[in-house]
Amino acid sequence: MDISFSNLGGVIREIREILGITQGELCNGICTQSHMSKIENGDVIPNAVTMYMISLRLGIDTSSIFNLTASHSIDFQINFFYNIRKLIRKKEYEKVLRMIKREEHNPAFNHDTHQQFLKWNKAICTYHISGKPKESIKMLQEALHLTLQHKKFHNNQEISILNSIGVIYFENKEYRNAVKVHEETLNNIKKSPFKKNLVKEQIRIYYNLAKAKTHMREFEVSVQTCEKGIHLCLDHEILYLLGELYYQVGYNYYLTTQVEECCAYFQKAIHIFNITEQQSYISYIEKLVKEVKEDSQPTHFDTE
């Protein structure tokens, strides 16, 4: 075995585990799980077709995987990406921007998928720090086109970038643009041969689309959109955004003064938020439930 490929299987395994993909999910439709196990253990080197399919499933191009293997920089790169996303979720945008500016010219990140990741998160930080939605959306579109040429479907990272574009439109009350982006993204997911690995992304898009529809006062469409996300959660036995989806259905009923349906879905949301220990959501929903039971009419319009 060529020494430069001696750790190829280990790199594939590490990327898979960071992404939260099981070995069975990775090999589905590509090879047997036994063969994938041999690849990850370094007993065999995948052929070109298998390697290409693996890279598509992981959402990272083949050359990047080979370069990670050859350079032995997997730990640094994966940890860097993980920390960036963790800090984004914590809304530490200035810190993330400093980290990206420090590393964006690092040769370890010179591949398109790496540059796309950096530009994507840089755009998010720029938006939240400077409050310039048009500039940030332009950066996100540039990031998207780094890898989209000649592709028939999107990978996880590209879908996340599209979602970010939709979110910025939504937060700036451009609801029709947000809906357009989210609906196009859902169509891309449905066309993907790997949509089984895009369940969380699909749920997130349904939720964001439903919120936009609520703001457009298309309450029935919003409820139907939420139900699609709820069914995905239940079918795949995951809690991801399930509480938020139940809440959004209840809120549509709240705004249309359908008391019984509103309370039923709010209670479902409270149950999920109890499981996931999200007390702030519970307190807010309990306040709405109290309003409904006291026959108060909704006097505001807030989907947060």
Provide the 8-state DSSP code for 21.
Answer: -
Across residues 74-89, what is the average pLDDT? Answer: 84
For 98-121, give the DSSP string: HHHHHHTT-GGG-SHHHHHHHHHH
CATH C-level class of 1-72: mainly alpha
pLDDT digits (tens, 9 = 90+) for 228-237: 999 999 999 9
Specify the pLDDT at position 303. 45
Across residues 218-226, what is the average pLDDT? Answer: 98
Q: Tokens representing 55?
A: 């890279």
The pLDDT of residue 304 is above 60: no
Specify the pLDDT at position 151. 67
* Alpha helices, H only, the chain: 8-19, 23-27, 33-40, 48-58, 62-71, 74-89, 93-103, 112-130, 133-144, 156-171, 175-191, 199-215, 219-235, 242-255, 259-275, 279-293
- Residues 67, 71, 72, 74: is their CA dihedral positive or negative? negative
Q: Any idea where the domains of the chain sit in the sequence? A: 1-72
Specify the pLDDT at position 74. 58
The pLDDT of residue 219 is above 60: yes
The vertex-239 CA angle with 198 and 16, nearest 5°, equals: 40
Across residues 9-17, what is the average pLDDT? Answer: 86
Residue type, 130: S
Please tell me the least confidently modeled range out of 68-77, 123-132, 189-198, 268-277: 68-77
The pLDDT of residue 240 is above 80: yes
Rounded to 10°, the helix 219-235/199-215 angle is 160
- pLDDT: is 73 or 301 the higher one? 73
User: Nearest Cα to 112, choosing from 83, 85, 150?
Assistant: 150
Length of the chain measured in residues: 304
For residues 13 and 72, give the distance between their C-alpha atoms in angstroms, rounded to a whole number: 14
For residues 45 and 106, give the distance between their C-alpha atoms in angstroms, rounded to a whole number: 29
The vertex-242 CA angle with 223 and 186, nearest 5°, equals: 60
The pLDDT of residue 301 is above 60: no
The pLDDT of residue 73 is above 80: no
Residue type, 282: I
pLDDT digits (tens, 9 = 90+) for 14-36: 888 888 889 999 999 999 999 99
pLDDT digits (tens, 9 = 90+) for 98-113: 999 988 887 777 788 8
Please tell me the least confidently modeled range out of 62-76, 113-127, 162-176: 62-76
Across residues 286-303, what is the average pLDDT? Answer: 69
Specify the pLDDT at position 249. 98
> Coil, strand, or helix at residue 277?
coil
Residue with tokens 């690849």: 39
Specify the pLDDT at position 6. 59
Specify the pLDDT at position 75. 67
Binning pLDDT at 50, 70 and 90, where does residue 4 land?
A: very low
User: Nearest Cα to 161, choosing from 65, 254, 59?
Assistant: 59
